[in-house]
Amino acid sequence: MSKPKLLITRRWPKAVEEAAEKDFDVTLNEKDIPLTIEDMQNALKNYDAISPTVTDVLNSQAFEIQNVRCKILCNYGVGYSHIDLPSAENLGICVTNTPDVLSDCTADIAMTLLLMAARRAGEGERELRANKWIGWRPTHMIGAKVTGKTLGIIGFGRIGQAMASRAHFGFGMKIKIFSRSKVSDDVLSKYNAEQLNSVDNLLKQCDFVSLHCPGGEPNRHLINSSNLSQSKRDLILVNTARGEVVDEVALADALKNKVIRAAGLDVFDGEPKINPVLLLAPNLVMLPHLGSATLETREEMGFRALQNCKAFFKGEVPLDKVA
């Protein structure tokens, strides 16, 4: 019996690529660059399975084809807002993701950004590299204290809770959350957290806010000029969720005019392109989508994607089926 044909759209860690070849007839994207919509359409017609990433565009247009061969999209990543789920479902294509395995590392990056923004670490390093540091002085590069402050978390799934654990138990931070669904009292009590009824109220009450909600149109510009203007003075905002969740022009304006104190971003709207207005903000720390970027996590993401794919072709329901 022939192996299912699997397209891996970006290069994976070597150990995972080798594991994939044991069970699948694998095609790798040797150039390791994002595929075009036309590329994805051809792939949907020529492969039994595709493992896309956040860099792949699988909007409704990508699915407007005949003679579809693909039966499963085993997404390499927890977020799947880049995949038009209704279009995939209409063509009978199963969609899976890779939750759990990247929660800790993404929360680590969120905490890194929070600390860097609060303590002006990016500005400090740039000053040193430019050979402009003239020595220690009491008023130099004053930042914000983190320990004991209030952290607001938007989206309280696995990653949001991992962030709460680091902030509450590691830095004694008070935790307030916003989630569209009611979070159980048992979960909230783990972090002595309080659930608020709106994003606006959260921004008004918190010293720091970290985003861990899904992307996609429902959450596009969830953070915008209106609620930023009402936020607590000296707010520091962190986004490791999806770029479109933040109105970047509004954020840049709020940073420039000192409406908020600072921000840290690991994701961008339209990445890898960066909105030029962000580059002008010295009180903004930026990382190139490093949330899951440890070898252990990137390998586990691949193994999880393969696990879902193998289960599907055995006639089982994949563990991480989202559509």
The per-residue pLDDT for 57 is 87
Return the residue matching tokens 């654990």: 165
**251 exposure class (CB count in 10 Å sphere: 0-12, 13-18, 19+):** buried
Is 271 in the active site?
yes
Mean pLDDT of 24-32: 97
The whole-chain average pLDDT of the chain stands at 97
Assigned fold of 5-101+295-313: Rossmann fold (3.40.50)
Give the model confidence (pLDDT) of 254-279 as tens digits.
999 999 999 999 999 999 999 999 99
The per-residue pLDDT for 158 is 97
Mean pLDDT of 285-304: 98
Return the residue matching tokens 């969830």: 222
Share of the chain above pLDDT 90, in %: 99
The per-residue pLDDT for 1 is 72
Bridge partners, residue 27, by sequence = 7
From 17, 127, 194, 271, the catalytic residue? 271
Using the predicted structure, report yes or no on whether residue 151 has a pLDDT greater than 80. Answer: yes
What's the pTM?
0.95
- Name residue 241's amino acid: A
Burial code (b: 16+ CB inside 10 Å, e: under 16) for 196-218 equals beebeebbebbbbbbbbbbbbee
Mean pLDDT of 102-130: 98
Is 38 in the active site?
no
Assigned fold of 103-286: Rossmann fold (3.40.50)
From 127, 166, 289, 299, the catalytic residue? 289
Q: How do the domains of the chain map onto residue ranges?
A: 5-101+295-313, 103-286
Is 299 in the active site?
no
Give the model confidence (pLDDT) of 192-246 as tens digits.
999 999 999 999 999 999 999 999 999 999 999 999 999 998 999 999 999 999 9
Query: Phi and psi dihedrals of 125, rounded to 5?
Result: -65, -40
Sign of the Cα torsion 152, 155, 157, 163 reads: negative
Q: Which helix (H) or strand (E) holds 316?
A: none
Query: Phi and psi dihedrals of 86, rounded to 5?
Result: -60, -40
pLDDT band at 173 (very low <50, low <70, confident <90, very high): very high
The strand order across the sheet containing 5-8 reads: 25-28, 5-8, 49-51, 72-74, 94-96
- Answer for the pair 148, 173: CB distance below 8 angstroms, yes or no: yes
CA atoms within 13 A on the CB side of 40: 25
Give the model confidence (pLDDT) of 33-91 as tens digits.
999 999 999 999 999 999 999 999 899 999 999 999 999 999 999 999 999 999 999 99
- Answer for the pair 268, 246: CB distance below 8 angstroms, yes or no: no
Give the model confidence (pLDDT) of 55-71 as tens digits.
998 999 999 999 999 99
From 158, 242, 261, 304, the catalytic residue? 242
Q: What crossing angle do the helices spanning 158-165 and 103-118 adopt, rounded to 10°?
A: 50
Mean pLDDT of 13-29: 98
The per-residue pLDDT for 26 is 98
Topology match between the domains 5-101+295-313 and 103-286: yes
